[in-house]
A and B are shown apart, each in its own frame.
Chain A
Amino acid sequence: MKAIEPHLPVLPVLIPLFGALFSAFFRRGASAWLVALVATWLAAAVSCWLLAKALATGMPISYQLGGWAVPWGIEYRVDVLNGFVGALVTTIGAVIMPYARRSVAHEIDQHVQAWFYTMYLLCMTGLLGITLTGDAFNVFVFLEVSSLSTYVLIAMGRHRRAVLAAYQYLIVGTIGATFYVIGIGLLYLVTGSLNLADISARLATAPPEFARPVVTALGFLTIGICLKLALFPLHVWLPNAYAYAPSVATVFLAATATKVAVYLLLRFFFTVFGAGIGLASVPIPELLFVFSIAAMFIASFSAAFENNAKRMLAYSSIAQIGYITLGIALANQSGLTGSIVHLLNHAIMKATLFMALGAVAFRLGVVQISDLAGLGRKMPVTMATFVVAGLGIIGVPGTAGFISKWHLALGALEKGMWPLVFAIVSSSLIALVYIGRVVEVAYFREPAAAANKAHDPPISMLAPMLLLAAATIWFGLDTRASVGIAAEGAKVLLGGLK
């Protein structure tokens, strides 16, 4: 244990990377799954250890790759915030794995199953790399590692539209990543550094004539990252990508990919620019308010009118991203705590919802809302987890969703922006409409002929769903761990501000 501890910051990236290589090497679906299972759980254990260590030390843990000194070499820099996001990504990725075996075997051809697990692990590698690295260009490389594997994951969907969705995401995602590189390039021209902490320090002392390229860089970075996190109106790629990807891929992407992009946005806004030139010099919060509220309402309305259940949840994800960016725009302790804790809460709830739909697809092969008729009686456990997580999305007290919205509302009140509280509550009512539609169809309609023989999926698929549904309740009642860590993360972000 003593020998491993100094290498903790790099291990969460290495374990899925080696797992991906081994599962590609074995080429058989079953052995690839076993490799992925071991790799994800190992990575989850290591990430949680890393988070515990970051919480205990209270200082950023620095790790220099290849022993090259900062700022010349690549540095992995882990504080409470990215330790938290890393633990979130790996834990969700690990919990999905037992579920994945039956679902993947059902949805994906035998000879490409190993590639599916390879891409899954590569995507995880990329997401963890973005999270843990402290080097701006390294972020880009990992961004592309995760994006390229995501395109492949989406293209493995059964419907021919899956390939089209993957292509559209490839175009948008590459534009986003290129915007990010342009932003980094401009920052590099001004500061001569690629280390995020070093950039921040050098921005603070940059001569005033560099103000314009710095603001331009901020604009490029914001748009590039917002394309990745699907902030309204840059969200058009997301509904199709989530709707046509294989169920397991949708669960993983919905729970983790956008969260990591949000983390990146937080890192740039607060640690790089906020600490360097101060947020006041940039009109970003005003824009974020407008787009967040637009996302909360317009995407929720789209969800309410959507007939494909997976697409409905995808629109709901865009609305939930709106809550998270709302907290970023508030930029005070309560608002940021709400945002960060919503990363966790939304990941748990959306993973549960998409897993429940994946179970429906496993039994019925379709996920139109009308096809769910009568499933409340035919697949009782599956639909029960759906309802629990759905209540969380609405924000009913006692579920995790309520906790995040509570802190967001507190943040809005602290700023004296009480209309925002009204907006949060009323957009939750729209969530009640679209979740309510599914519940109505599932519990109060007679099952269709196809659904008559349906029953709950095997225990390997049920257990992860039940676990996450229980977590939805748990984090709604006992908030010491989730809100505690989120508050620490918010403190780290705000403490560095100029």
Chain B
Amino acid sequence: MKAIIDAVSHYNYFITFFLMVAGLYVVISRGNMIKKLIGLTLFQSSVYLLYVAPGKIIGGTAPIIDPAFKVYSNPLPHVLILTAIVVGVATLALGLALVVRINEAYGTIEEDEIFARDGEI
């Protein structure tokens, strides 16, 4: 019983790791380059959750010092993830730009068709 309660009380980690594995699966299994990038974004988003969720302290308030409050949430993970989100957006933008160029060069964004056109590389 205690094991079940333990597992349920850590539900945020289950969600995080489900998203993580799902994103990675999409990256590996799909041949469409846009879908791969979507999977990659999902994978990165799961990490945002991994950081942000534990930053919330139950009963804690925003970290602005005031004598009325004793418990504050941890602001650092949010700052870190803000950085990670910007990095993720930049990666996605660059990835999409590359896909546009690939589409212009090959006329397709399906990996197997590209390999068929150029030979396996």
Contacts and interface: CB of A to CB of B under 8 A. Distances in A.
B1 interface: no
B57 interface: no
Given A170-B95, A240-B121, A181 B24 contact: no
Contacts of B20: 182
Interface stretch (A171-179, A259-267, A430-438): A171-179
B94 interface: yes
A141 B91 CA distance: 12
B101 A140 contact: no
B91 A144 contact: yes
A491 interface: no
Interface residues of B, number: 31
Contacts of B37: 171
Given A163-B101, A164-B121, A185-B50, A151 B24 contact: no
Contacts of B91: 144, 148, 170, 174
B95 A167 contact: yes
Interface in B1-23: 20
A174 B99 contact: no
A166 interface: yes
Given A144-B91, A170-B95, A137 B36 contact: no
A141 B94 contact: no
From DSSP, what is the main secondary structure of chain B's interface residues?
Answer: helix
Given A141-B87, A167-B99, A151 B94 contact: yes
Interface string B43-70: 1100100110010000000000000000
A166 B33 CA distance: 13
A175 B50 contact: no
A163 B98 contact: yes
A171 B40 contact: yes
Contacts of B80: 137, 194
B98 A151 contact: yes
Contacts of A178: 43-44, 47
A140 B91 CA distance: 13
Contacts of B36: 171
B15 to A, nearest CB: 15
Contacts of A170: 91, 94-95, 98
B101 A161 contact: no
Interface string B79-107: 01001100100110011001101100110
A140 B47 CA distance: 13
Contacts of A144: 87, 90-91
A491 to B, nearest CB: 34
Given A141-B87, A181-B84, A163 B102 contact: yes
Contacts of A185: 47, 50-51
Contact of B24 (A137, A167, A175): A175
From DSSP, what is the main secondary structure of chain A's interface residues?
Answer: helix
Interface residues of A, number: 27
Contacts of B102: 163-164, 167
A141 to B, nearest CB: 6
Nearest to B17: A182
Most buried by A among B36, B98, B105: B98
Contact of A161 (B27, B40, B121): B121
A480 interface: no
A160 B105 contact: yes
A175 B43 contact: yes
Nearest to B54: A189
Contacts of A182: 20, 47, 50
Contacts of A163: 98, 101-102, 105
Nearest to B79: A137
A248 interface: no
A461 interface: no
A175 B98 CA distance: 17
Contacts of B51: 185, 188
Given A137-B80, A161-B118, A185-B47, A152 B105 contact: no
Interface in A114-164: 137, 140-141, 144, 148, 151-152, 155, 160-161, 163-164
Contacts of A175: 24, 27, 40, 43
B13 to A, nearest CB: 10
B55 to A, nearest CB: 10
Contacts of A189: 54
Contacts of B121: 161, 164-165, 240
Given A155-B98, A181-B47, A240-B121, 19 more contacts: A137-B83, A141-B83, A144-B91, A148-B91, A160-B106, A160-B118, A163-B98, A163-B101, A164-B114, A164-B121, A167-B95, A167-B98, A170-B95, A170-B98, A175-B27, A175-B40, A178-B47, A181-B84, A182-B20
27 contacts: A137-B83, A140-B84, A151-B94, A151-B98, A160-B105, A161-B121, A163-B98, A163-B105, A164-B114, A164-B118, A167-B95, A167-B98, A167-B102, A170-B95, A170-B98, A171-B27, A171-B37, A171-B40, A174-B40, A175-B40, A175-B43, A178-B43, A181-B84, A182-B50, A185-B47, A188-B77, A189-B54
Closest 8 A-B residue pairs measured CB to CB? Answer: A160-B105, A167-B98, A144-B87, A163-B101, A185-B50, A185-B51, A170-B95, A181-B47
